[in-house]
Amino acid sequence: MPELPEVEVVRRGLAAGIAGRQIARVEVLHPRPVRRHLLGADDFATQLQGRTFTEPCRRGKYLWLPFADGDALLAHLGMSGQFRLDAAEAAIAPNTRVLFTFGDGDPQLRFVDQRMFGGLSVSPDGAELPAEVAHIGRDPFDPQFDLGAAVAKLRTKRTGVKRALLDQQLVSGIGNIYADEALWRARLHYARATDSLPRAAAAALITAAAAVMREALAEGGTSFDSLYVNVNGSSGYFNRSLAVYGREGHPCPRCGTPIRREAFMNRSSYRCPRCQRVPRHARL
């Protein structure tokens, strides 16, 4: 759901909405989203009081909101996390988990998360790069992203190519939706063995993932329902441009063959059975 383009839309919304603002009060309405803050919800709220946000940062699907003092608020949207900027007097939406009130008044920052796979925590000295994010690979939007290195690393893996795309330590930011779209563009089956993939094919695959995510960002991200929205509560339009994801039975935009949905890693994978043939040596 929120993958790189969606998280970037949120980051930009936060840049406009909270940079430079000082926190007056934090209220944790549900403890689960702050479970990674090991000192507990009360400490989380107390620690944040009086801090001033600077420009928000992102790597892959991780967000962090640095403070002027060098620490940071670390955030992951998980499956259904949202940041919303709402007037303090506006009704509290269902599944609102954490409220941030600022010294300058409106708007409030609200963290809403239905499934609570995401979460917030304070990362000491995390302004530059939180320790919790250090193991995550650079994403394709990162100026220091190294395509050659990513290709080399992918080809050393002994697994299927979709697993490799979803591995955030290899290339970050890609989730189930953009993995399927990239595989379709590169005409690869998800179970194609990474170690049998020619260098050029691997490069084309990662480049396709970057391209589809860039196009999605330009459309404001992908959304199927109200679970992914920007800080204003509205959703992007890229789902209109998806070739295969969520399109079981619809014709492949390239060859017209009906798209197939298959179980994969406890979730779904969508592919064109003609453009993306089962490889001789499939590897899941």
CB 36 within 8 A of CB 126: no
**Per CB under 7 A, 142 contacts DNA:** no
Question: At closest approach, how far in Å is the CB of 220 from DNA?
Answer: 18
Helices marked H in the chain: 4-18, 41-48, 147-156, 161-166, 176-185, 199-218
Which of 159, 187, 250, 279 is close enough to bind DNA by CB under 7 A?
A: 159
* Whether the bond into 107 is cis, omega within 30 of 0: yes
Total interface residues for DNA by CB under 7 A: 36
* Partners of 13 in the β-ladder: none
Residue closer to DNA by CB (options 92, 265) is: 265
Restricted to residues 90-109, the positions that interact with DNA (CB under 7 A) are 94-95
Which of 62, 100, 102, 184 is close enough to bind DNA by CB under 7 A?
A: 62
Give the Cα separation of 91 and 47 in Å (integer): 26
Question: At closest approach, how far in Å is the CB of 227 from DNA?
Answer: 9
Dihedral sign for Cα atoms in the order 207, 209, 212, 214: negative
Question: At closest approach, how far in Å is the CB of 130 from DNA?
Answer: 10
CB 113 within 8 A of CB 95: yes
Give yes or no: 3 in active site.
yes
Beta strands in the chain (DSSP E): 23-28, 57-59, 62-66, 72-76, 81-86, 96-102, 105-113, 119-123, 260-264, 267-271
CA torsion, points 15, 17, 18, 21, in degrees to nearest 10? 130
Residue closer to DNA by CB (options 89, 91) is: 91
From 94, 143, 240, 267, the catalytic residue: 267
Question: At closest approach, how far in Å is the CB of 21 from DNA?
Answer: 26
Q: Say which DSSP state 179 is in.
A: H
Site string (19-58) toward DNA, x via CB under 7 A: -------------x--------------------------
From 51, 59, 61, 192, the catalytic residue: 61
Q: Which residues are catalytic?
A: 2-3, 61, 267
Q: Which residues bind DNA (CB under 7 A)?
A: 1-3, 32, 60-62, 76, 78-79, 94-95, 114-117, 132, 135, 156-160, 163, 166, 168, 175-177, 261, 265-268, 283-284
